[in-house]
Structure 1
Amino acid sequence: MVPVSLFIWIVIELAWYLAIGRHWLGADWNAAILGALGGLLGMRAGINALTWLYASTYASPAAPLGLAGRLRLIASEYLAFLLTFVAVLPLERLWLPADRLPTGARRPLLLVHGYGCSRGVWWLLRRRLEAAGHTVATISLAPPYTSMGKLVPQLHQRIEAVCAATGAKQVTLIGHSMGGLIARSYLARHGIARVAQLITLATPHAGTELGRIGFGQNAREMEPDSLWLRDMAQEAVKIPAISLRNPYDNYVMPQDNQRLPGANDVELPAVGHIAMLYDARVARLLLELCPPPGKTA
C-alpha cells in the first residue's frame, strides 16, 4: 500500500510542478523539468527541516556535536530520506526481493518497520544481516495510518508464518520507531512463546512531540502521555529487551522518550532517524546484540 501510494504521489507532484512551470510561469521544458525536480527536493528539505526544528526545541540533554558534526548529521539524514521515500519505497520490489526463509534456521530475525513506511526500508540492513549468516524476515503493515493495535494481528500472522517456514520455535523482533511499539503490543497480547528477544531502534516508548502533527490514529497514539502509551506502560517486558536510543534523533523527541523500563539501554552514535537504517555502525551493533546465526540441530 505504501509503495503504490508513494509512487502515485510523486507522479502527481511532479506533474503539478511541471504544470506550474509550463502553463503558469511560461517556462520552456528544460526549465520546467529542473523546476519540478527542485520542487520535489525542496518539499522534502522542508519536511526534514521541520523534524530538526522539533528535535532542537524538545531536545533531551546530549553531548554537543559541533557545527561540522551537526551539518553531517542533517545532510546524511536528508539524503537517507530522499533515498527512502523517493527511490526505494516507491520501487520497493526492485530493492527488496521476497524474504529467504530456509528450513532449519535457529532463530530468525523479524524486522518491523516504522510509521509511514513498509518492508523496503530494510533493504540494506537485511543484506548486511544475511551476509553475517542470519535468516531475516520482514513485514509490511497496512494500512499505514491506522491504530497500532489493529496492526498487531498482521505481526502475529507473520511470526507464525516465519516459524512454520523455518522450523524455528522463536524469533528475535527488531522494531524501528513505531515498529518497536507494535512489537511490544504483540507481546502484551500474545505472550512470549514465539519471541526470544526484543530490540527496538529509536522507538518512542514514551511518545514523541512530532506525533502531534502526524497523520492517522497511530500518530495520535504516539503523542506523549496518550492513553495507548499509558496502557502499554503497564505491560512489563518479560523477555530480554534492548532499547537502542538515538540521542540526536529528529523524529522522537524528547529523545530520552526512547528509554524502555526493564530493557538494556544502549546509546547509538550520532545518526538521523532514517539514516540509522543505512548506517554500518548500527548494523555492526545489531550483529553484536543478536544471537549468533546458525541452524538448529
Structure 2
Amino acid sequence: MRLPKPIFNNPDFTPEHPTPVLFVHGFQGRTSAFKRQARYLAAHGYWVWGFDYGRMRVPGLYGTGDLDELVTELAGNVEKVLAATGAKKVDIVAHSQGGTVTKLYIAAGGHEKVRRVVTMGSPFHGTDLDGRAKLISPVMNKQQAVVNRLLGESATQHLVGSEWLLARVVPDTHPDVVYTSLYSRRDHIVTPNSTSMLESVDGADVVNMEIPGAPLHPLMPRDLEIARLTRWGLERKPGETTPPF
C-alpha cells in the first residue's frame, strides 16, 4: 500500500509559486491545526512547510516558552525551509502568538528573508483577555514560577502591561515585507481587535481586515474562509485592500 504524501515539508512537491510558505502556530498549538489551509494552498501550487516550535506543556501541544527564545527558534525554522527549497525568502502564515513571534523576528533582521506575512488573531500589542487581564495579572505575577512551569513564560508576556511587553518596543512592520493581518470580532482571547492591527512603518504595504465570517479564535487555523483570505494576502497586488470575492 502506498503511503499518502505529507502535506507539510514534502520534498517531492513541485511548486507553482517560487516562495515557500511557512506556517507558524500559536500558544499551546501545533502545525497540524493548519492542515485544511495547507491543503488549500498546496492545491493552488504553494509549497507548504511547518514545524512545531516551543516547549510542550500540555500533551501534544507546543508553542510555550520565553518569546525571545521562540523568535530564535523561528529563525532556525526559516533557515531549514530556505536550505530545503533553495529559495531566498519565505512567506509566513501565522496564528495568534505566531504573529507576534514573526513580528519580533522581522524586527531583529528577519525582513531580509521574508517576502509576505499573513496573520490571524495575533496580539501584536498584547491582549487584555476581554478585560480579564487586570484581574489575572496580579495573581499570575505572584505565582510566576508556577505559571512558567505549567504554562510557560509567554502566557504572561502577552498580557497588556506586562514588563516584558513594555520593554519590547519594536516597529510593527518593515517596508520590505507585505502584510495582511486578519482579525475577528468574535475573538475573546486576543482583545481588543485593535491589538491585531499593524501600523505601516516607512510605507510598508499593510492591510488590517476583519474576517467577514468572524470565527472564534481557536478555530482560525481550520477556517476555509481564512484560507481563501490567506491566499489573497499572498497574491494581492500592491495597495490592494479588498479581496475580489
CA distance in 2 between partners of 1:201 and 1:222 (Å): 16
1:177 aligns with 2:96: yes
1:266 aligns with 2:209: yes
1:242 aligns with 2:180: yes
Partner of residue 130, structure 1? 42
Partner of residue 194, structure 2? 256
Partner of residue 151, structure 1? 70
The change in CA–CA distance for 1:116 and 1:219 in structure 2 (over 3 A counts) is same
Give the deviation of 1:268 after TM superposition. Answer: 0.6
CA distance in 2 between partners of 1:160 and 1:175 (Å): 17
Contact 1:113–1:140 (CA under 8 A) maintained in structure 2: yes
Q: Aligned with 1:200: secondary structure?
A: strand
- 1:3-51 CA-to-partner distances (Å, cap 9, x unmatched) read xxxxxxxxxxxxxxxxxxxxxxxxxxxxxxxxxxxxxxxxxxxxxxxxx
Partner of residue 219, structure 1? 155
Give the deviation of 1:97 after TM superposition. Answer: 5.5
Bigger proportion of residues as helix = 1
* TM norm structure 1: 0.61
Q: Paired residue for 2:166, among 217, 230, 240?
A: 230
Report matched runs for 1:29-178 at 5 Å. Answer: 98-101=8-11, 102=13, 106-143=18-55, 144-178=63-97
5+ residue gaps, structure 1, are 1-93, 293-297
Q: Aligned with 1:162: secondary structure?
A: helix
Give the deviation of 1:149 after TM superposition. Answer: 0.9
CA distance in 1 between partners of 2:168 and 2:10 (Å): 33
Contact 1:109–1:134 (CA under 8 A) maintained in structure 2: yes
- 1:234-274 CA-to-partner distances (Å, cap 9, x unmatched) read 32411221211212112212222211212321111221112
The change in CA–CA distance for 1:171 and 1:268 in structure 2 (over 3 A counts) is same
Q: How many correspondences in the alignment?
A: 199
Identical-residue share of aligned pairs (%): 28
Give the deviation of 1:180 after TM superposition. Answer: 0.2
The change in CA–CA distance for 1:278 and 1:236 in structure 2 (over 3 A counts) is closer
5+ residue gaps, structure 2, are 56-62, 141-146, 201-205, 237-245
Contact 1:107–1:170 (CA under 8 A) maintained in structure 2: yes
Partner of residue 221, structure 2? 277
* TM norm structure 2: 0.73
Contact 1:242–1:266 (CA under 8 A) maintained in structure 2: yes
Partner of residue 201, structure 1? 120
Partner amino acid for 2:235?
P
Give the deviation of 1:160 after TM superposition. Answer: 1.1
Q: Aligned with 1:125: secondary structure?
A: helix
1:287 aligns with 2:231: yes
The change in CA–CA distance for 1:124 and 1:236 in structure 2 (over 3 A counts) is closer
Partner amino acid for 1:291?
E
